[in-house]
């Protein structure tokens, strides 16, 4: 009963708040209505000026479209001349190329027009990207033309081409290979990719710029329409704007906040959406969430790994065996006479030996296998998805490991291992693979260490 009363009071308070807000909006609307009426009358006098602006926008639209077309045509022309020069080795095409690049400059004129109308917009960034790629392509084209002229021993080159320095490796190539390299630079996949990027960026620039101009023209046309409407129409538009404002408030503030509350209850990061203020809150929360997650992962890592070697520790090993998949191989490994190493060389060298053994084991096996340190000088390796017929593969890996460790390195002595190996496929149902591998390890030690033994059923 009390919860229902609280809910009813909250609902009543909400209604009271809404009523106050509506009254405030009504007062504001009266003032805005008068102001809009005055603005409407003044705007009618400016109708001619607005129509002139509309015409100007249409001209900009046509110029921008023409400039984008010219830019692509100039780029295609340069590509064609450079390719023809490389394929035919005819300097005439190089001269046509340079005439377009340095004299006609259709590309530069088009870029100037697009940059003038797209300044400060997304179109400018797209144009900058296209121009950068175009310049990169031009350098590639000049390089290829220089290289192919070099292959034909043509040294009298225009300054623009001669200034492009050919690398020593390319200059030392035989003439036919220089020709092939130049053709590859102009006809290969990389060139086509850069070319496609330029076309895409120019299309995006033109689309963005045209969309902006269309938007401006639409705004001007809308302004013309508004100038011809009556005060009642203006007031109705204002009412519609208020509805839009309410919907926007709901979409950008209320709904994201409800979603955020749900995410927090479910311990999930927040979706960064909604108004700028809501986004700032979500981003701040997500930073804290990420930091907390990072710390949690660090603690988990510290709990699951051995601090000396970085391998999985005994706890992780036990969990892996409990939840193991079928068809595995378990290796139990002891460093032979490790106490003597510590006594003879000191614990610092002993630690280095353990780290070396760990490193050799990790490098010997796959990323899908698990290498663990289960005790002082005891290691274990779990190989996943291993069939019995892969026994020779396991043997070859173990031979390589033993051979590697048998060689002393730096200040560390040679190391030998005793290894017991058990295939899950050879075990009867219910038998522990850990005990099987441990028995094989015991057999390896009993036979004199420095070897590996496979567990076999009696």
Position 305 in a domain = no
> Per-residue pLDDT for 25 more than 50?
no
Domain identity same for 212 and 325:
no
**pLDDT per position as a tens digit, 439-453:** 999 999 999 999 999
Residue closest to 437 by CA, chosen among 304, 273, 324, 310: 324
Domain identity same for 318 and 212:
no
Position 285 in a domain = no
Asked which of 219, 238, 264 is the last residue of a domain, the reply is: 219
Residue 135: band (very low, low, confident or very high) from pLDDT cuts 50, 70, 90: confident
Say how far apart CA 226 and CA 233 lie, in whole Å.
Answer: 8
> Per-residue pLDDT for 396 more than 90?
yes
Residue 227: band (very low, low, confident or very high) from pLDDT cuts 50, 70, 90: low
Mean pLDDT of 418-430: 88
Among 28-32, 169-173, 263-267, the range with the most confident prediction by mean pLDDT is 169-173
Say how far apart CA 373 and CA 366 lie, in whole Å.
Answer: 17
Query: How much of the chain exceeds pLDDT 70, in percent?
Result: 76
Among 13-27, 285-299, 331-345, the range with the most confident prediction by mean pLDDT is 331-345
pLDDT at position 201, please?
Answer: 75
Element (DSSP H or E) covering residue 421: strand 417-423
pLDDT at position 300, please?
Answer: 60
**pLDDT per position as a tens digit, 31-90:** 665 676 676 677 666 666 776 776 777 777 777 778 778 878 888 888 888 888 888 888
pLDDT at position 439, please?
Answer: 94
Domain identity same for 79 and 214:
yes
Domain identity same for 199 and 334:
no
Q: Are 238 and 248 in contact (CB under 8 A)?
A: no
Say how far apart CA 362 and CA 311 lie, in whole Å.
Answer: 9
> Per-residue pLDDT for 250 more than 50?
yes
pLDDT at position 29, please?
Answer: 46
Q: What is the CATH number of the domain that holds 107?
A: 1.20.120
Residue 306: band (very low, low, confident or very high) from pLDDT cuts 50, 70, 90: confident
111-115, 304-308, 368-372, 413-417: which range is least confident on average? 111-115
Residue 375: band (very low, low, confident or very high) from pLDDT cuts 50, 70, 90: confident
Range of the domain at 379: 314-454
Task: Look at the chain and report how many structural domains it folds into.
Answer: 2
> Per-residue pLDDT for 223 more than 70?
no
Residue 20: band (very low, low, confident or very high) from pLDDT cuts 50, 70, 90: very low
pLDDT at position 329, please?
Answer: 93
What order of strands is seen across the sheet that includes strand 451-454?
370-373, 378-383, 329-335, 417-423, 451-454
Among 120-129, 169-178, 181-190, 401-410, the range with the most confident prediction by mean pLDDT is 401-410
Say how far apart CA 399 and CA 393 lie, in whole Å.
Answer: 10
pLDDT at position 296, please?
Answer: 57
Domain identity same for 69 and 206:
yes
> Per-residue pLDDT for 264 more than 50?
yes
> Per-residue pLDDT for 310 more than 60?
yes
Position 291 in a domain = no
Domain identity same for 185 and 324:
no
Domain identity same for 55 and 191:
yes
Query: How much of the chain exceeds pLDDT 90, in percent?
Result: 21
pLDDT at position 7, please?
Answer: 42
Residue 251 vs residue 12, higher pLDDT: 251
Position 448 in a domain = yes
> Per-residue pLDDT for 130 more than 80?
no
Q: Are 358 and 307 in contact (CB under 8 A)?
A: no
Instruction: Please give the DSSP secondary-structure letter assigned to residue 420.
Output: E
Position 16 in a domain = no
pLDDT at position 207, please?
Answer: 75
**Mean pLDDT value across the chain:** 78
Asked which of 219, 243, 265 is the last residue of a domain, the reply is: 219
pTM: 0.41
pLDDT at position 21, please?
Answer: 35
Residue closest to 355 by CA, chosen among 307, 323, 322, 316: 307
Domain identity same for 181 and 324:
no
Residue 161: partners with Cβ closer than 8 Å, 6 or more residues away = 94, 98, 142, 145, 146, 149
Q: What is the CATH number of the domain that holds 434?
A: 3.30.70.270
pLDDT at position 351, please?
Answer: 93
Element (DSSP H or E) covering residue 374: none
pLDDT at position 97, please?
Answer: 83
Mean pLDDT of 170-191: 84
Position 296 in a domain = no
Q: Are 347 and 390 in contact (CB under 8 A)?
A: no
Say how far apart CA 256 and CA 156 lie, in whole Å.
Answer: 68
Domain identity same for 191 and 318:
no
Domain identity same for 197 and 334:
no
Position 13 in a domain = no
Say how far apart CA 328 and CA 388 lie, in whole Å.
Answer: 9
From the number of C-beta atoms within 10 Å of its C-beta (0-12, 13-18, 19+), residue 372 rates as buried
Mean pLDDT of 230-242: 67
Domain identity same for 204 and 339:
no
Domain identity same for 59 and 166:
yes
Mean pLDDT of 18-30: 41
Say how far apart CA 414 and CA 195 lie, in whole Å.
Answer: 59
Asked which of 195, 219, 243 is the last residue of a domain, the reply is: 219
Position 295 in a domain = no
**pLDDT per position as a tens digit, 330-372:** 999 999 999 999 999 999 999 999 999 999 999 999 988 999 9
Residue 129 vs residue 244, higher pLDDT: 129
């Amino acid at each position: 009963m009390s919860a229902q009363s609280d809910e009813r009071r909250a609902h009543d308070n909400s209604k009271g708040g809404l009523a106050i807000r509506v009254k405030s909006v009504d007062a504001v609307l009266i003032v805005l209505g008068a102001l809009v009426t005055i603005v409407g009358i003044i705007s009618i006098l400016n109708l001619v000026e607005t129509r002139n602006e509309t015409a100007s926008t249409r001209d900009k639209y046509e110029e921008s479209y023409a400039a984008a077309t010219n830019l692509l045509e100039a780029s295609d022309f340069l590509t064609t001349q450079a390719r023809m020069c490389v394929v035919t080795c005819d300097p005439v095409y190089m001269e046509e190329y340079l005439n377009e690049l340095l004299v006609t400059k259709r590309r530069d004129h088009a870029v100037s027009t697009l940059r003038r109308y797209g300044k400060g917009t997304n179109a400018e960034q797209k144009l900058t990207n296209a121009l950068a790629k175009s310049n990169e392509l031009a350098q590639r084209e000049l390089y290829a033309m220089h290289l192919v002229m070099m292959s034909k021993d043509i040294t009298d080159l225009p300054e623009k081409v001669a200034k492009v320095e050919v690398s020593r490796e390319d200059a030392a190539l035989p003439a036919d290979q220089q020709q092939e390299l130049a053709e590859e630079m102009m006809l290969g996949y990389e060139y086509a990719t850069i070319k496609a990027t330029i076309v895409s960026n120019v299309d995006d620039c033109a689309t963005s710029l045209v969309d902006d101009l269309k938007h401006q023209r639409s705004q001007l046309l809308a302004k013309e329409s508004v100038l011809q409407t009556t005060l009642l129409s203006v007031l109705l538009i204002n009412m519609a704007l208020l509805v839009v404002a309410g919907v926007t408030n709901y979409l950008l503030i209320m709904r994201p906040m409800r979603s955020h509350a749900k995410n927090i209850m479910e311990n999930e990061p927040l979706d960064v959406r909604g108004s700028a203020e809501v986004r700032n809150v979500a981003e701040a929360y997500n930073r804290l969430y990420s930091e907390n997650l990072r710390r949690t992962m660090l603690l988990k890592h510290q709990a699951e790994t051995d601090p000396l070697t970085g391998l999985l520790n005994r706890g992780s090993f036990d969990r892996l065996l409990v939840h193991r998949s079928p068809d595995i191989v378990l290796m139990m490994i002891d460093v032979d006479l490790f106490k003597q190493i510590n006594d003879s060389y000191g614990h610092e060298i002993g630690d280095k030996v353990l780290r070396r053994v760990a490193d050799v084991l990790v490098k010997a096996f796959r990323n899908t296998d698990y290498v663990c340190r289960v005790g002082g000088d005891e290691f274990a390796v779990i190989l996943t998805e291993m069939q019995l017929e892969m026994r020779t593969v396991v043997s070859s890996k173990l031979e390589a490991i033993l051979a590697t460790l048998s060689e002393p390195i730096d200040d560390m002595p040679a190391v030998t291992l005793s290894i017991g190996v058990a295939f899950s496929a050879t075990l009867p149902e219910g038998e522990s693979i850990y005990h099987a591998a441990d028995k094989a390890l015991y057999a390896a030690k009993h036979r004199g260490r420095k070897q590996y033994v496979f567990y076999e059923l009696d």
